[in-house]
A and B are shown apart, each in its own frame.
Chain A
């Protein structure tokens, strides 16, 4: 097969770029793969891309940032998309041209706005797959409605969790569109796994409020009080840095809790720990959970929408606690801190259970999906059996329309008050 990925900016750093590069590399063993990057801001990608995968940038911000067309708002890329301000008449034009001249069998979009481009502009003969790395429930109502209008023109939609896939099936009218979860993949670590002996709890992620590292630090106070020989290491950088620093001082945890800064890859760090922690309020997937498990760590996580609950088998390879529940989090951490044998056993199980996120199995799912969709095209079948539930999904659409209207009223009221 000839497969093209369409990505926001392949030259940056982030989970979507990592997982797209991993998938592209694995597919390149048997297929002709290219990545089309809507934007480019530097000479080389930050992350290593397999040389067999072609990289084709469309708008080079280094020369074209001030092009009048780039200063004109986009019309195809939806205004309700998170990254709308980074798109323009110029990206509309270049993405449109790239799709019109595409000779791929399968084209894969990697964010909602780019999926809209595929749905509207990919050649009729090309199979269109939209990936969803965020979640339907967390999209603003206006974006949900924009996607409702065009997603029926996709062949398949692939959220990263079963739970999000279920939400799409229930809340969107997508007759004939195959909705199938496709998780992110994490390559096997090159280092031997952690042995459960180190007295270190570890977490990683951008230091932003949704990750709730404040909750983790507060919960760790209970661990430090009982077992002062344990430490918590948090890797990452971001706007919360100073606030977290102040919290550590206020709780007197400067001998136990350390903000380590951003480190990539994390692999050599995970193996220094014996427990992983993830405390987000919201986590579409939970890449760090899988990374930690692949290094042999049991993971204690909040049971937030949606990833953690599908990655962790509670009691077997980790623990799930209610979102925002500091005491439950402290209790789950302490249980693993106190019991060396439990921690080691769960770590071994985590290593075993997380193999399903290896590129091999994930790529096999993607390959099978693409081949099915291609065969359906050839045979003139719809990509998925037509289960049209217009009545139910219509209700959700009406509600989102009402939410959008209510949002407009609120905004108007706020403006009037200013």
Chain B
């Protein structure tokens, strides 16, 4: 059989496979492998003004970029948890990036980070936000804050640390301005490698994009459960390898992209 004939046969097979418009069985769509990205966003009073304005703009711009990550073979879903005096989800469940629309956030109140950790732990469950049959990857969890927690964040973090999805999830954090404490953020991520800091609007935009896009790319990557010698490795090793890769890539990209000529957030604050 010539190559051309093989190609024609293959095309015909794909055409037949796709010819389902009038098939009643197509009413329930096929779901690709899916990944959930959790954004934990500090909306306390100290985020008011330039920080919150910039964050809203960046997040609106970010959605099309995350859509591109999912275009290949992964369905990306987004869940946004805001925390100030109260904690609140933007939507009642993770939303497909295709349907997701950013709701502009306002800043007010104190920084209940511990309460946010507890709420996240409650929802990161097969009985709650992670109940999709097609869920195939551990979640990406991205924390953004500009200040020190006003509640007992360690108690919340202990609860979160006992959650298996958190253990195997890819964790990254962004400190905004001078008041954000990188040690607290590193406690959350488990490593300083995936903690970055933004001191200006330009940096904030760059950092959010770098972290969100890189982590969703790595998070949706199927890594083999065997090493170079063919020896089977555990899932814990795969997730550790992903977290390490995320740290390396973030540090590399941050090093290349730091915007120096921008007005710092804390000027005039």
Q: Do A and B come from one complex?
A: no
A interface residues, Cβ below 8 angstroms from B: none
Chain B residues at the A interface, C-beta cutoff of 8 Å = none
